[in-house]
Amino acid sequence: MTLPATTHRVAESTAEPVNRRIVDEMEEQVRYFADYPEEIESRLWELDREWDVERVLEANAAVLALTGIALGFVNRKLLLLPAVVAGFLLQHAFQGWCPPVPVFRRLGVRTQSEIDAERYALKALRGDFQGVDTSGRASSLGNAERAERALSAALA
């Protein structure tokens, strides 16, 4: 059994119509900001604060596990809940899927890669990547300077 790549495991285990809707919404956002570039900074601020599916899943699992532990003082059988949650988290770590993930994805919760795709498209629209030599050939810029410009653009 081969494990899916970390960056694609959630999308690979998500229904294709859900993935398509998420991508379509992102593309719609980028097209909007192409017409309203003065609003890009605000959208980038929002993207920096958007919870990805991993964070939502972790918060959900923590709430369920803590609830199970608290209720375990009332009925010891309820201590099974944190064990089940831990098992699902382990399954998610390997496969990118566990029972809450399809629900979160249908609600539009995106992966970090999907959020980053929108972020980089908006940064490109804003012009953050201008001045970066992408030819890979020797140029008037030394390789160290090319690297610095690329890093500066990516971190902007």
- 125-153: pLDDT as tens digits: 988 887 666 665 656 667 777 677 777 77
What are the tens digits of pLDDT across the range 48-103?
999 999 999 999 999 999 999 999 999 999 999 999 999 999 999 999 899 999 99
Buried b (16+ CB within 10 A) or exposed e, 5-21: eeeebbbebbeeeebee
What are the tens digits of pLDDT across the range 90-136?
999 999 899 999 999 999 999 999 999 999 999 989 888 876 666 65
Tokens of 54: 């991993």
d(CA 137, CA 143): 9
Q: Where are the domains of the chain?
A: 9-131
As a residue count, the chain comes to 156
